[in-house]
A and B are shown apart, each in its own frame.
Chain A
Amino acid sequence: MNNDTAIRTHDLTKRFGGFIAVNKISFDVKKGEIFGFLGANGAGKTTAMRMLCGLSIPSDGMATVAGFDVYKENEKIKKSIGYMSQQFSLYDDLTVKENMRFYGGIYGKSNQFIKEKTKLILDQLQLKNEANLLVKSLPLGWKQKLAFSVAMFHEPEIIFLDEPTGGVDPVTRREFWTMIYKAAATGTTVFVTTHYMDEAEYCDRVSIMVDGRIEALDTPAALKKNYNTNSMDDVFLQLARKATRKSD
C-alpha cells in the first residue's frame, strides 16, 4: 500500500438484486487531494460513497480507505473519516453548540478539545450569536456550512461530501468551497460529489460516472483537452448522453 494513497478501489461493485448500481469502479485518491465525483442523478455516486464510508457492504471488488479494508475494518475507517450526507442530518432540535459537542463526544474527543474547537468553528462561521439557537431555526446555507464543520470537527483524514451545495445560493457555495480548500490545505483528503460543473473545476481531479461505471478520470484541464472543449459542462454532457439508465 502506497503511503500517500487515501482511498483505493479496485473493481468495486454493488448490486441490488439484479440491478447493478456500481459496476467495477477502480480508482485511487491521493492524500490531500480534492477528488470530484461527478455523475447524473442515479449514476451510482451516492452508493459508491456509502460503500467507502462503511454504510453499505460492497457486493464485489476491493477497496481501502485510510489504509483500512472496507469489508472487515469498516469501524476503523469511521474513525478516520468525516461524512456529510445529501440529506441534511444534524439534529434539528439541538442547538448549534450541542450538535458540535455531541459529535465531538462520540468521536471520543476530550472536553478541552471540544471546547476549543467549538469556539474556533463558531468564530470561523461567524455563528457566535447563534451558538445557542436550535439548528432548525437557521437558514439552509448556514446549516450546510455547519454540517460541514461538524463533519470536520474530529479532524478526519478524509472527508466525504455528498452534494454538499445542493440548493444553496452562489455566495454560500463560494464560501463553502473556500472551506473545502482550507481543509485540503491542512492535509485532509476531500472526496466530493456534485452536480455543478463549475465546482468540478475547483477539484484537483474529477471522475465522471455514467450508469454505474467511471467513464473518465483526470484533472479538469486534461479532461477538457481530451474531449476537445473548454468547459467541463461540455465534457459532462458528452459523457452523460451515453447514459441509458433513467435518472430518478
Chain B
Amino acid sequence: MRTLLFLLQKEFKQIFRDPSILRIIFIIPIIQLLILPWAADYEIKNIQLTVVDQDHSAYSRQLISKITSTGYFRLANYTNAYPQALKDVENGDADLILQIPVAFERQLVKENEATLFLAMNAIDGVKANLGSAYLRSIIQDFNREVRMEWIQLPRLNPETQIDITTSNWFNPLMNYKYFMVPGILVLLLTMVGVNLTSINIVKEKEIGTIEQINVTPIKKIHFILGKLIPFWLLGMLVLTIGLGIARLAYGIVPAGSVLTIYAFAALFLLAVLGLGLLVSTYAHTQQQAMLVTFFIMMIFILLSGLYTSIDSMPTWAKWITRLNPVTYFIEVMRMVVLKGSGLIDIKKHLLIMLGFAVVLNSWAIMNYRKRS
C-alpha cells in the first residue's frame, strides 16, 4: 500500500510539472463542449428548393407560396428549365427540385389528375427523405384545398381523413442539446482518458525509466494502479467541469440524479483508462500507441450511437457497438439526463461496465511484463 502512495506522488508530480499538457486536457473539452453541440442539429429546415415552373399558372403560384410559407423550404431558384435546376443541385445550391409541368393546372381541372415531379439530392439520405416527406404532405394539403374549391365534399362522398397527433416524451421541446451535450461530453472524456494513458507506459519504455522500475520489487498491480488513479481523478474533474458547462451554458439539469452519472462515470473511466494502459503495454513506441488509439477512438466514437442510429446498423456492427463502452455511457446519459433513470434502471449498464473495467485492467496488468 505504501508503495502505491509513492507511485501516486510521482505520477501527480509529473502531471503537474507539464502545464502545457494539463492546460490542453482542460481547454480542449471546454472549448469543444461550448461550440460543437450547436452543430449537431439534424432537424431539417432551410431545405434549398429550386422550382421549375413550366406552367406559370395561378395554381403553381399558390403551391409555391404555400411551400415557402411553411419555413422548411427556402426558394433557391425559380426557373423554367430543368437543366438549370439540375445545375443548382450540382453546385450544392439546391437540395430539392420541384417541377411543375406544362399545363399542370389545366390537366388537374380538366382531367381530374395531374402529376408533379420531385428530384432530390439523395447523397444525404435523411435530408432527401424528410425533405420529400414534408413536401409531399404540403402537396397533399394543397390538393385538399383545390378539391374544396371545386366540390363540397363532406356530405356526399367524404374524404377519409386520419388525424395524427404526435407527442414527444421526455423532451417535449425537442431540444437536441439535451442529448448532444452529454453525448459530446462522454466522447471528450473518452478521448482525454484513453489518450492520456495509452501513451503513458510506452513513454517510460521509450525513455528507459521502465527498466529502473522493473528492476525494483514493485508489484505489477501497484504500478498499474499508480498510473490509473491520477488519470481517473483528472477524468472525474473533466466530467465535473463538463457537467458544469452543461448546466451553465446550456441550462441542462439532469432529470435524474447527478450521483448516478458519477457512479457510472467512475466505472466507465476505469474501463477506458484500462484500455489505454492495455494499448500502452502492447505498443513499442508512442507512435504505435497513438495510431492504435486513433483507430479505436474512431470506432468508439462513430459507432457509439450518438451520431447515427444503432438500430440501422447491420448485425455485426451492432455487436461492435455492444463491445464499445462509449455506447453504454451515452445510453446512460440519455436515461439519466432525460428520463430521470436511477441506479436500479441502469443496473445492467453498471454491471457490464464493471466487467469492462475488470477485464481490461486485468489484461493490462497481465500483459505488463517486468521480464522479457
Contacts and interface: CB of A to CB of B under 8 A. Distances in A.
Contact of A57 (B7, B208, B215, B372): B372
Contact of A102 (B9, B17, B207): B9
A88 B9 CA distance: 21
Closest 9 CB pairs of A and B: A105-B6, A87-B208, A83-B215, A78-B217, A89-B212, A89-B208, A79-B217, A102-B10, A89-B209
Interface stretch (A3-11, A28-36, A92-100): A92-100
14 contacts: A56-B372, A81-B215, A83-B215, A87-B208, A89-B209, A89-B212, A90-B212, A91-B10, A93-B14, A94-B10, A98-B10, A105-B5, A106-B217, A107-B217
Nearest to B14: A93
Interface in A45-101: 53-57, 74-76, 78-79, 81, 83, 85, 87-94, 98, 101
A107 B211 CA distance: 15
Interface residues of A, number: 30
A55 B209 contact: no
A108 interface: yes
B91 interface: no
A113 interface: no
Contacts of A101: 6, 9
B145 interface: no
B211 A98 contact: no
A89 B3 CA distance: 19
Contacts of B2: 105, 108
Interface in B6-64: 6-7, 9-10, 13-14, 17-18
B372 A55 contact: yes
Interface string B338-372: 00000000000000000000000000000000111
Given A55-B214, A79-B217, A105 B208 contact: no
A90 B371 CA distance: 19
B357 to A, nearest CB: 25
Contacts, number: 83
B201 to A, nearest CB: 14
B190 to A, nearest CB: 26
B175 interface: no
A106 B215 contact: no
Nearest to A79: B217
Nearest to A91: B209
Given A54-B371, A78-B217, A85-B215, 6 more contacts: A55-B214, A90-B212, A91-B10, A98-B13, A106-B3, A107-B217
Contact of A94 (B13, B207, B212): B13
A98 B7 CA distance: 11
A85 B208 contact: yes
B216 interface: yes
Contacts of A94: 10, 13-14, 17
Nearest to B10: A102
B324 to A, nearest CB: 34
B10 to A, nearest CB: 5
A139 B7 CA distance: 26
Contacts of A76: 217
A75 B372 CA distance: 14
Contacts of B208: 85, 87-89
A24 B13 CA distance: 45
A202 interface: no
A108 B216 CA distance: 10
Contact of A55 (B5, B207, B370): B370
Given A85-B211, A102-B10, A55 B371 contact: yes
A78 B215 contact: yes
Contacts of A75: 217
Nearest to A107: B216
A108 B9 CA distance: 14
